[in-house]
Amino acid sequence: MIPTKERKKTSTITRWRLFIQACAFLLILVNPFLILHFHFTFIQGWYQSLGIGKLWIVSPLEGMESILVARHLYPPLLVGMLIPILLALLLGRVFCGWICPIHFLSDLSDRLVTVVTGKKRIRDRFILPRSIFWYSLVGEFLLAMILGAPFFVFLSPAGLVGREIMNAVFFHTLAVEGVVVLLVLGMNLITRRFYCRYLCPLGALLALIGSKRKLKVRRNPNACVSCGLCDRACPLGLKPSLDEGKSVHCWNCGACVDACATNALSLEWHTQANNLPELPVDHAPGSSPAPEESKR
Amino acid sequence: MNRIRNARRSFLKILAGLFLLPARKACAGGIFQSPVATNRLRPPGAVSEEIFTGKCIRCGRCIEVCPYRSIIQLDARVGIHAGTPLIRAEDVPCYLCMKCVEVCPTGTLRRIRQEDTRMGLAVVDRHRCITWREEALCRTCYNVCPFKEKAIRLDELRPVIDEKYCTGCGLCTHGCPISTEDGRKAVNIEPLYSGLRR
């Protein structure tokens, strides 16, 4: 039996993540009001391109599509894509897990659903092969080239949230494509983060860039008792108990780390030193000394 | 049975439409129809309309930074141009503050000088302009023009546009007191340059 107090103490990563997500969401929520009423244009845009003073941040997928479709290189665009690409190279899909407004809204709606239905967790009812993720990225690029317009940019849920907020504040209207956001949130009812798991081309691109990332969820096989708490906590349906936290799909949100009862999981900076082969496992998962009942 | 047949027919239509997408682009209709038209202009410094929609990433920064709310954002009703910026000259014209060209991250709005802006060309409709019809002496367009005496001058008290200096900002259209039943004014901005310049 794990005391509840101790369990609470370990949820620090989730709390930090929610804080950062909330700040990132507040930024795009409050900023249009600041611009409209105070002409404070120091920060413009949302998570397609964010301008903070002279610092420009451009989403790499949109930027690449723009370059490919228009066949013209614009140096400031390349510089703007640098920060997100570096972030993805080192930390993986952290944009998805820690900043993206869709993940934040999904988190909130998940909590709402658990309150309304009274169920403790939402099941993943519909599982697809994860390779769809890569087809989605390739298909997206092909579609953009065929249409002659960067397709993702006007239907990207991550950008649409910001656009709808801006349109609502500035012009008191909502664009019709905001339905996409509702659809994406609705798909969470079928499978948690269905869109983020299988369909998001931006997530796929960030995952691809971050395939050799430094920050990974590391499992200490000696401490792990294979209780499966982490597998249930993962919003992407990965199985950290089988070291799937090291896969490209993981977005380093740390939900599994917080769920772990034995502190066997940790987010760790991967260097050459701890890149050594795993220590031999002391006990097979089946013959674990701590039976599963003890942790409920 | 009929419903099934209709469903099948529309499905086949959609399928055929998907295969014919590039062909449809050539005839430039439907979802590829550009929203640029008379008094419907791209912001200053815009690249040619053919690549505008491919280059713009719809980040909305030009719209947010515009202090006059001249630029609006289109939605999915204009097909693939959804999310691109547009100026409706007769509603709110462009005051040529050139803030939008400073923030565009993709170079879709090129950084140009104020007087080099060519969003379109003002055209006086001499059949509608009351000064040209010799019904009254109105010179509102002349008064509001930011390049007075250059872009609009008075020829025997009648307004004449000089295409060498007209930026197509739409201030004259906005100011013009004459509205016709088709929503136009006596002086309109024709987006002449949107297809020509890269």
Q: What is the pLDDT of residue A293?
A: 41
Q: Kindly list the distances between the CA atom of residue B80 and the CA atoms of A137, A154, A159, A160, B70, in Å, as whole numbers in the listed order.
A: 19, 8, 16, 15, 22
Q: How many CB atoms lie within 10 A of CB B117?
A: 21
Sort out which chain B residues have CB atoms less than 8 A from A56's CB and list them.
Answer: 105
Task: Report which residue type is found at A63.
Answer: G
**How confident is the model over A149-207, as pLDDT tens digits?**
887 777 889 899 999 999 999 999 888 888 999 999 999 888 999 999 999 999 999 99
Q: What is the interface size between A and B, counted as CB pairs within 8 Å?
A: 125
> Chain A, 37-96: which have a CB under 8 Å from a chain B CB?
39, 41, 44-46, 48-49, 51, 56, 58-59, 62-63, 65-66, 69-70, 72, 74, 76-77, 80
State residue B171's pLDDT score.
95
pLDDT of residue B50: 85
Q: A49–B61: do the CB atoms touch at under 8 Å? A: yes
**For A16-32, how does the pLDDT look when each residue is reduced to its tens digit (9 = 90+)?**
999 999 999 999 999 99
Query: What's residue A287's pLDDT?
Result: 42
What pLDDT was estimated at residue A119? 81
The matching CATH number, chosen from 3.30.450.40, 3.30.365.10, 3.40.47.10, 3.30.70.20, for A214-279 is 3.30.70.20
Residue A58 to residue B69, Cβ atoms within 8 A: no
What's chain A's length in residues?
Answer: 296
Considering only CB atoms, which chain B residues are within 8 Å of A70? 47, 51, 54-55, 106
Chain B residues in contact with A167 (beta carbon < 8 A): 73, 75
State residue B137's pLDDT score: 93
Do the chains contact at A45 and B72, CB–CB below 8 Å?
A: no
To the nearest whole Å, the CA of B116 is away from the closest chain A CA by 20
Residues of A in contact with B26 (CB under 8 A): none
Residue A18 makes CB contacts below 8 A (sequence gap 6+) with A107
Q: What percent of chain A is modeled with pLDDT above 90?
A: 49
**Pairwise pLDDT comparison (A167 vs A3), residue with the higher score:** A167
B22 touching A (Cβ < 8 Å):
yes
- The mean pLDDT of chain A is 85
Whether B54 has its CB under 8 Å from any CB of chain A: the answer is: yes
Tell me the mean pLDDT in the region A9-14: 75
pLDDT given for residue A273 in this prediction: 54
Task: Report the pLDDT value the prediction gives residue A104, as an integer from 0 to 100.
Answer: 94
Q: For residue B54, list chain A residues with Cβ-Cβ distance below 8 A.
A: 66, 69-70, 148-150
Mean pLDDT score, A215-223: 90
Task: Find the closest chain A residue to B48 by CA distance.
Answer: A70
Residues 73-102 of B with CB under 8 A from A: 73, 75-77, 80-83, 99
Question: In the 8-state DSSP scheme, what is residue A277?
Answer: P
Tell me the C-alpha distance between B16 and B56, whole Å.
28
Q: What was the pLDDT predicted at B33?
A: 84
- List alpha helices for chain A, DSSP H: 4-9, 12-38, 60-70, 75-91, 94, 101-117, 132-147, 151-155, 157-171, 179-187, 194, 201-209, 229-233, 255-259
- Sort out which chain B residues have CB atoms less than 8 A from A74's CB and list them: 106-107
ipTM for the predicted complex? 0.80
CB proximity A241 to B under 8 Å = no
pLDDT at B196: 46
CA A82 – CA A91 distance, rounded (Å) = 14
Q: Distance of CA B121 to CAs B115, B132, B170, Å?
A: 13, 19, 9
Rg (CA), chain B: 20
- Is some CB atom of chain B closer than 8 A to the CB atom of A157? no
Query: Is B27 part of the contact surface with chain A (CB cutoff 8 Å)?
Result: no
* CB–CB contact B55 A45 (8 Å): no
Rounded to the nearest angstrom, the minimum Cα separation between A90 and chain B is: 24
pLDDT tens across the length of chain B (198 residues): 566 666 766 766 666 666 555 444 444 457 788 889 899 999 999 998 888 988 999 999 999 999 999 999 998 888 888 889 999 999 999 999 999 999 999 999 999 999 999 999 999 999 999 999 999 999 999 999 999 999 999 999 999 999 899 999 999 999 999 998 888 999 999 987 665 443
All residues of chain B having their beta carbon less than 8 Å from the beta carbon of residue A69 are 51, 54-55
Q: In chain A, where are the structural domains located?
A: 4-210, 214-279
